């Protein structure tokens, strides 16, 4: 089976490509390296002994993308390629709508033209906004999002759902990720650290661990949680990647044409718990100070994953401690 992976050199994309290759899928990657490094393909080869076919293309470039659909006989698409910073999307919403919505639209048009009937979409728990019902189930209200980035995920879900209603044999699954962390246990691929100051908790902690930043600012000490810091569901990226294989398999079994699944661990951890676990697992002190809450942050977010467990037979297997060890292992290797 030939799978087109858009954004296949990115953080979650590259880990998913590894899992696909390990399961003997034929993989075609389309990526423009806008948030990844060129050496990722070689690392994928080092891990799997296989080289996916690669096209350096921006998914907004319809004509180039069409050449891929024309040349390759694609059976299914896993669509990751998107910009992913909530904060950046507030500064430049147009960029997010163009890239994330127009890009998806190009893929859907080409899927129709070239009779590709299956797609897995990389959505996010951000579609739940500030849901007060935890653990969050898939039937929770969605769309009350806090950023243009979140809106693009919500709109794409709607687009896919509508398309499956219009077209009889077109099937789609949206996967709503909670907080992906960790790296491949080999230490060869992981989440690249930005040159500037990261918004993301783990990337910030890794910079503190590498002594590139002096201390972590913990946003808020007055949330209704055991230590006052926010609660999230931190899922190991390899578990997340495996969720895509489970979804691909489930596409063939599902009775409806559209479905959506949470991918998380089902466990919530505070920021302080995460810091303490990182310190214990990696034997590194992470100095931190509490500061004001970050605007737009939700208080508590963790998943009910029973739907993915029951229907797709998928379970998160790694712990937060495993993920934090793997994240540091990758960061150390990159630094060295
Ligand atoms: N945090 C800090 N200090 C930091 C960075 C983060 O205390 O320097 C805290 C946040 O307040 C939050 C937790 O760490 O409690 C996690 O924050 P992240 O920025 O790492 O992640 P978010 O939960 O804000 O966002 C993540 C993804 C989004 C996705 C969202 C869905 O990054 O893409 O989950 O819930 F939309």
Q: How far is the CA of 134 from the centre of ligand 1 (A)?
A: 17
Q: Whose CA is nearest to atom 6 of ligand 1?
A: 201
Using only C-alpha atoms, what is the Rg of the chain? 19
Given 55, 96, 128, 149, which residue is catalytic?
A: 149
Residue with tokens 């024309």: 70
Strand partners, 290: 218
Q: Is the CB of 204 under 6 A from ligand 1?
A: yes
Centre a 10 Å sphere on the Cβ of residue 195 and count the other Cβ atoms it contains. 6
Assign 44 to helix, strand or coil. helix
Q: Is the CB of 107 under 6 A from ligand 1?
A: no
Residue-by-residue pLDDT tens, the chain, 336 positions:
999 999 999 999 999 999 999 999 999 999 999 999 999 999 999 999 999 999 999 999 999 999 999 999 999 999 999 999 888 899 999 999 999 999 999 999 999 999 999 999 999 999 999 888 999 999 999 999 989 999 999 999 999 999 999 988 999 999 999 999 999 999 999 999 888 899 999 999 999 999 999 999 999 999 999 999 999 999 999 999 999 999 999 999 999 999 999 999 999 999 999 999 999 999 999 999 999 999 889 999 999 999 999 999 999 999 999 999 999 999 999 876
Centre a 10 Å sphere on the Cβ of residue 299 and count the other Cβ atoms it contains. 16
Cα–Cα distance, 265 to 267 (Å, whole number):
5
Counting from 1 in the atom list of ligand 1, the atom nearest the Cα of 85 is 33
pTM metric for this prediction: 0.97
Determine the pLDDT at residue 203. Answer: 97
Q: How far is the CA of 200 from the centre of ligand 1 (A)?
A: 6
Question: What are phi and psi for residue 44, nearest 5 degrees?
Answer: -60, -40
CB–CB of 52/72 below 8 Å?
no
Is residue 204 among the annotated active site residues?
no
* Residue of 127, 275, 296, 297 to mutate, ligand 1, most atoms within 8 A of C-beta: 297
């Amino acid at each position: 089976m030939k799978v087109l992976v858009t954004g296949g050199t990115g953080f979650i994309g590259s880990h998913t490509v590894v899992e696909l290759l390990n399961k003997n899928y034929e993989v075609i990657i389309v990526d423009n390296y806008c948030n990844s490094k060129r050496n990722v393909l070689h690392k994928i080869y080092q891990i799997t002994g296989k080289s996916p076919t690669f096209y350096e293309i921006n998914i907004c470039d319809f004509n180039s993308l069409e050449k891929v659909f024309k040349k390759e006989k694609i059976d299914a698409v896993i669509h990751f390629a998107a910009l992913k910073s909530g904060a950046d999307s507030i500064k430049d919403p147009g960029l997010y709508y163009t890239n994330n919505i127009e890009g998806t639209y190009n893929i859907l048009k080409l899927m129709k033209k070239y009779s590709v009937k299956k797609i897995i979409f990389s959505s996010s728990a951000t579609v739940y906004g500030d849901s007060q019902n935890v653990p969050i189930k898939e039937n929770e209200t969605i769309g009350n999002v806090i950023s243009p980035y979140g809106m693009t995920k919500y709109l794409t879900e709607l687009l896919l759902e509508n398309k499956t209603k219009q077209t009889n044999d077109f099937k789609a699954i949206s996967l709503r990720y909670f907080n992906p962390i960790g790296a491949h246990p080999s230490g060869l691929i992981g989440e690249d650290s930005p040159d500037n100051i990261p918004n993301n908790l783990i990337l910030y902690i890794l910079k503190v661990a590498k002594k590139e930043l002096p201390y972590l600012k913990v946003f808020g000490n007055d949330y209704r949680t055991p230590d006052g810091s926010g609660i999230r569901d931190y899922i190991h990226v390899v578990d997340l990647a495996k969720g895509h294989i489970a979804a691909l398999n489930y596409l063939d079994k599902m009775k409806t044409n559209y479905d959506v699944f949470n991918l998380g661990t089902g466990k919530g951890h505070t920021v302080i718990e995460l810091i303490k676990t990182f310190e214990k697992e990696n034997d590194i002190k992470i100095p931190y100070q509490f500061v004001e809450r970050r605007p737009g942050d939700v208080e508590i977010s963790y998943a009910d994953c029973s739907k993915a467990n029951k229907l797709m037979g998928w379970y998160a297997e790694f712990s937060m401690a495993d993920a934090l060890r793997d994240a540091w292992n990758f960061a150390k290797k990159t630094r060295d």
